[in-house]
Every structure is written in structure tokens, then in C-alpha cells.
Chain A
Amino acid sequence: MPQYFPPNSNAFAKWSIYGGMVFFIVLITVLAIFARVSNNKVGVAIEQPVAFAHNLHAGQLGISCAYCHASVETSAVAGVPPTETCMACHSQIRVGTEQLAAVQKSWDTNIPIEWNKVTDLADFVYFNHAIHVNKGVGCAECHGRVDQMEVVFKAEPLTMGWCLECHRAPEKFLRPREEVFNMAYEKPANQLELGQNLVEEYHINLDKLISCSVCHR
């Protein structure tokens, strides 16, 4: 009977078993790495109708976030300021420049500027700014150093795993309430101890935080 397969095909068969195992291990590793580094469009600058610069307004001019994102402490949405807020200054400052033309136009026609959304959570997730801001979670924890951004980009992946990283152990991230708007805040060396105290002080209910219905209502 003629041979249809060369003798070394036996070795191939044997190695294919190891190959299968290696494939499985590689697959799991790749998935694990993807889950770790999956950045969900982090760092991608999004173009806006007006070249509004946070690094100028919030950074150099030192305007508080809440001046423009006025509802951040009281409601679920932080809100993007209406043209009126801009005009409070820009009816005086740099009137008529090219960069502000769109703002002026919006002011004249009474049609709001259409800002493009940067941090956009899936619609099936419930998120609430007020609770975070009032329980000592700083803006920078989720939005990064906005005060240094020329154009706002997403600083954190905002995946569910990312939200849970904090919800499972908020004491690693909490800061005193007064520091929430402080973009340059640095965690102290005794963060865990401080965090634990804040969890107690703010009556944070740790068991509730990881139940699905908190975010998926």
C-alpha cells in the first residue's frame, strides 16, 4: 500500500495537540489583555463647533467647573453651559473675533451651539453626577485633567469594569468634598485610611454599590 502521508506528519499531529493548547492559552491571554487595556476611544480629541479651550478658561483663568457646568452638584447631568454663560464675558472680551463668530451667531439667532458629546455612556446605564460629586469623587477621577486640555477628550475608558473598580473599593479614590473641583489634587500617603473615614462620614453603602440595579435600572 503506497504511503499517502510523509512520515513527519505524525510529528505534525502530535504538535497540533500542543498547538491547540497554546492557542487556547494565547486566546485567553489576549482577551485578558484586551479587557485590561481596552480604552474605548480614550484620548481621541473630538472636534467642536467652537474652539473652546478648557486649559484657558478652567486652567489659566481659573473659572470653577460649576460656573459653567452648573447642575453638576445637584442633578444627574452636569450640563453644558448655554450661550448666555459665554456672553457674560464675551460680550466684553474679544468681541467679534473669528473664533467667537459661532458664539456670536448663536447669541444673535437664539439657536444653541451644538456641542459634540465627548463622554457618552451607553443609554442603558444610569449615571448620576450629583451623588459622586457630593460623596467626594473628584471630576479628575473620571474626566482627567480637563484644566490642561485644549480640546476635551475622554480620559478614562468608562467601561463597566472601570466603574466597578471604584464601586468595589471607593476608599481608594475618595477625597474630601471641598477638593472635588480641585483638578491638581494629589492623593495623600494615607489615602486608604482617609478613604475609609470618608466612606463612614458620607454614609456610603458599600454593599449597594455593586448591585446591578444601581446602574442598570
Chain B
Amino acid sequence: MTVKPRDARKVIETDRVIAPGQSYGSVDDAVNSPVLLPLGRTKLWWFIGFGIAFSLLMLYLYTVIYLIVTGIGIFGNNIPVAWAFPIINFVWWIGIGHAGTLISAILLLFRQDWRTSINRFAEAMTLFAVAVAGLYPILHLGRPWVFYWLFPYPNTMGLWPQFRSPLDWDVWAISTYASVSMFFWFIGLIPDLATLRDRSENRFAKLMYGMMALGWRGSAKHWQRYQRAYLLLAALATPLVLSVHSTIAMDFAVAQLPGWNNTVSPPFFVAGAVFAGFAMVLLLAIPLRKVFGLEGLITKKHLDNASKVMLATGLIVLYGYVIEIFTAWYSGVEFERFMAFNRMFGNYGWSFWALIFFNSVAIQPLWSKRVRNSPIALFIIAISVSIGMWLERFVIIVVSLTRDFLPSSWGDYSGTLWDWSLYIGSFGLFLTLFFLFIRFLPSIAVAEIKELVHHTNHSESHEAPPTEVS
């Protein structure tokens, strides 16, 4: 029984994890066919999207080259604001990655079946966001070409990296995170790569997919090992969801600057990361399901659940803002109190209130099921959250640094043109990778969805008890 993609499209919009009437064939058609299309027949929207992303990538590369040739002075960072855009953007991007790991690892361990349709592209999002994020600290080193000094390797200086330095914590946090995410993503891809190898007609594609599929034949032994590896990696990745952003919070805490060392910071940062990450998942999922006609696989259930997570983490973040102000007052420390006051009413007061608006007020409509079911409303709220989370890092970093203990060392900060071009260009890097991904790899985990289809069919159509596959 094969349902044509056309028919699958008809059953759009459902509240279930997977639309009724899906079969192995229909899933393959919906997800794999666009991937296997010959290059020349790629849809126009892809070329337009890729073109825009690629132009932005060129802007990014231009900025990077100009940065390397000219030096770090092209950015607005200077004493007192030595950490500015590069770190804001670094924290922002790495935060976005967290939703992917949360979806793939934690929800897997909790056996949440709604993760299945969105985990693949969310993991890809994680990977690309981490790649973009990881470049920021390197670019902001001043001498980016000697970044490898951050690794402990035998060198003529007889030096080890300074393990007490936040810069080095970032190195370990990011490289662990990137490598675990990468393995996780790749192992999940193997069965799908094998499907693509078998279904593709082009010899070159067959070779490429075949090479990446590592000789997968789908034997029981293969599946057993696959499941074991996948679970093992999920267990490895789970602590990373919490640890990576806690490390970032700790980066701040080593400075004595008021506003940078609240005890609530690590969990607050993690919640903020998941918050921003789910916003990005929605930003990618909503157009993706539209252009690929995947409404039967990424259903309203997914949007609904993702926005619930967003609402919950958003409230934790709001709690964090309140607690920061409370502890500032309760500590009785003059500088902490001044910091809180200055955040709200100081020279950058607008950024705090904008942050409250974008991050906390704008998500309140999510209490309503109608809003959670409307892709357009969700899309707008997700954009608002992305802006809000960027502003949050701006407030933490810039506002604290411009007004520290000594009025004589106060200063103002604004990003230069190059700061902005590097930031806007970084979307180019991210989106270029993402467009390549959705063109050449299945953006939905087909093998896992088939398993889900199998379960659903068993429990619904056949009235047979569900069989454990895993």
C-alpha cells in the first residue's frame, strides 16, 4: 500500500504525533524523494534560499578576512567593554544548539515519541549552530591563526593551556559538545543513508551515500548495535545539555563584575538556551513542513509541544530576571544594587525593557491553545524570543561592563559595522549549511518514523498488541 505524497498532503494538520494513513512508502516519498531528485530539478525556493544564504556567507567570509588582515580593532570592543558582540553572538548561537541535544538525547531517554519527526533537523541545527558559535571565540582571539595553542599539545614554549581560563573551558565545552552531537547525528543517519543508497538512481549518489552508510545492510545484528550505540550516545549527550551552558555561565562568574556571578546563573543560562533553541526549532520547522509538504509528519502536536517547552523555559528565564534583581537588593551590596538599578533605568535601560517584552511578555499568548496551533503566531513569537535572548546576552555583557565599580572606568559601547556584518554573516554560514543539509540529506529521521508508523499501525489498524522493536 503506497500513498502518494499528494494524498499524504491532503491529510494536513492533525493533533497526533503522526498523521493517520501514513505508510512506509508514504514516509519515504515525502522525505526521501526530494533528496533524491536530480540536481537540475531542485525546486526554485531552494535556489532562492540557498542564494540568499550563500551571499550572507560571502559577507561573513569577507568580514573574517578583513578581520584577519586588519586585526581585532575593527570591532567595537575595547576597555571597558572587552567582551562584546563576539561573546554575545557566541553565547547566543551555542544556546540555540541546546534544543537539538535536548530533543535528541533527553527526549529519547524519556521515550517521547514526538521527538522523532523533529530530531534530525534539530540535531543538524545544533551542529551548525555550534560550528558558528565555535568560530566566534576563535575570531575574537586577536591572532586567530594560533587558536591551536588552546589545546594541550607538546610545544616549544613548554606551556600547557591555562586550565583556569574560561577561554579554555569554552574549548573543551564546545569541542566535546560538537563531537558528541556530530556522532549522534551521524549514527542516527546511517540507516537513512542506506535507504538513500538503495533508492538513488545516480551512480555517484549511490557511491556517496553508500560510503557514508558504512555498509549498513539492516540485519538484526546491525539494528541491535545501532540501538545500543544510539542509546549510549544519548546518555553521553544528556549531561552536555546541562553542562555546556553551565560552563558558559561559569565563564562569567570568574569575573567579580556585579551581575555576572549570581548563583542562579547556570540553570538560568541552561533554561535560556533551551528557550532560544526551541524558538529556533520552530523557526526552522514551520517553513520546512510547509515547503516539503511534511504537515503529516511534523504535525501540530509537534508545534504544540515545542511551544509548551518554550513557554515553560521562558517562565524559568523570567524567574531568573526577577531573582537577579531580588538578590541584588537582598545582598545589600551597593554595587549589586546599582547594577540592578542601572540595568533597568541606566544608559541601556531600553535594552532591559525590550528584553522583558520580547522574552517574557511576548510568550504569554502561548497559554492559549489557539495560538499554539497557529504556525504564523508561533513563527512571530519565535522571532521575538530569538531577539529577546540576544538582548539578554547584550544586557548581561555590555550593560554590566559599561558600569562597573569605578565611575572613572565607565564607558559606552556600540557595535561597529563589522560587528554587525559578522553577526549577520554568521546566519549565512548557518543557513548555507542548513540548505545543503535539507537538499542532500533526509531532514526527518525516516527509519525512526517508520518504526513509529509500525507502532501506530499495530495499535490502531490491526488491533494487535504493539511489538517492542527496540
Contact = CB atoms under 8 A, between A and B. Distances in A.
B191 to A, nearest CB: 16
B215 A165 contact: no
B210 A4 contact: yes
Interface string A34-62: 11101010000000000000000000000
A157 B154 CA distance: 16
Given A4-B210, A10-B215, A159 B157 contact: yes
Given A31-B154, A157-B156, A159-B158, 4 more contacts: A5-B215, A32-B154, A159-B157, A162-B158
A163 to B, nearest CB: 8
A126 to B, nearest CB: 16
A9 B158 contact: no
A160 B157 contact: yes
A40 B157 CA distance: 12
Contact of B156 (A4, A5, A35): A35
Most chain B CB neighbours (cut-off 10 Å) among A4, A10, A160: A4
Interface of A: 1, 4-5, 9-10, 13, 28, 31-32, 34-36, 38, 40, 157, 159-162, 164-165
Pairs A-B, 10 closest by C-beta atoms: A161-B158, A32-B154, A160-B157, A159-B156, A35-B154, A164-B158, A38-B156, A31-B154, A4-B210, A35-B156
B198 A28 contact: no
Given A4-B206, A160-B159, A165-B158, A31 B215 contact: no
24 contacts: A4-B197, A4-B206, A4-B207, A4-B210, A5-B210, A5-B215, A28-B153, A31-B154, A31-B155, A32-B154, A34-B154, A35-B154, A35-B155, A36-B154, A157-B156, A159-B157, A160-B156, A160-B157, A160-B158, A160-B159, A161-B155, A161-B159, A162-B158, A165-B158
A210 to B, nearest CB: 10
Contacts of A157: 156
Contacts of B197: 4
Contacts, number: 42
B361 interface: no
Nearest to A38: B156
Interface of B: 153-159, 197-198, 206-207, 210, 214-215
Contacts of B155: 31, 35, 161
| Interface SS of B by simple majority | loop
A77 B345 CA distance: 56
Given A13-B214, A13-B215, A161 B153 contact: no
Contacts of B206: 4
A91 B250 CA distance: 71
Nearest to A36: B154
Contact of A161 (B157, B210, B214, B215): B157
B426 to A, nearest CB: 30
A160 to B, nearest CB: 4
Contacts of A13: 214-215
Contacts of A36: 154
B149 to A, nearest CB: 12
A127 to B, nearest CB: 16
Nearest to A9: B215
A161 B207 contact: no
Contacts of A161: 155-159
B46 to A, nearest CB: 27
A26 B159 CA distance: 20
Given A32-B154, A161-B155, A1 B215 contact: no
A5 B215 CA distance: 9
A30 to B, nearest CB: 9
A31 B153 contact: yes
B159 to A, nearest CB: 7
Contacts of A165: 158
Nearest to B162: A212
Contacts of B215: 5, 9-10, 13
Contacts of B154: 28, 31-32, 34-36
Nearest to A29: B154
Most chain B CB neighbours (cut-off 10 Å) among A5, A28, A38: A5
A38 B206 CA distance: 47
Contacts of A160: 156-159
A8 B155 CA distance: 40
B190 to A, nearest CB: 12
A13 B153 CA distance: 28
Nearest to A165: B158
A165 B159 CA distance: 11
A70 to B, nearest CB: 33
Nearest to B207: A4
Contacts of B153: 28, 31
A1 B210 CA distance: 13
A212 B59 CA distance: 39
Contacts of A4: 197, 206-207, 210
A157 B156 CA distance: 10
Nearest to A164: B158
A1 B199 CA distance: 10
A212 to B, nearest CB: 9
B331 to A, nearest CB: 34
A31 B197 CA distance: 40
A151 B210 CA distance: 63
A25 to B, nearest CB: 13
Contacts of B159: 160-161
Most chain A CB neighbours (cut-off 10 Å) among B156, B157, B207: B156
Most chain B CB neighbours (cut-off 10 Å) among A38, A40, A161, A165: A161
A164 B206 CA distance: 56
A128 B72 CA distance: 32
B452 to A, nearest CB: 26
Contacts of A5: 210, 215
A15 to B, nearest CB: 13
A40 B153 CA distance: 19
A164 B156 CA distance: 10
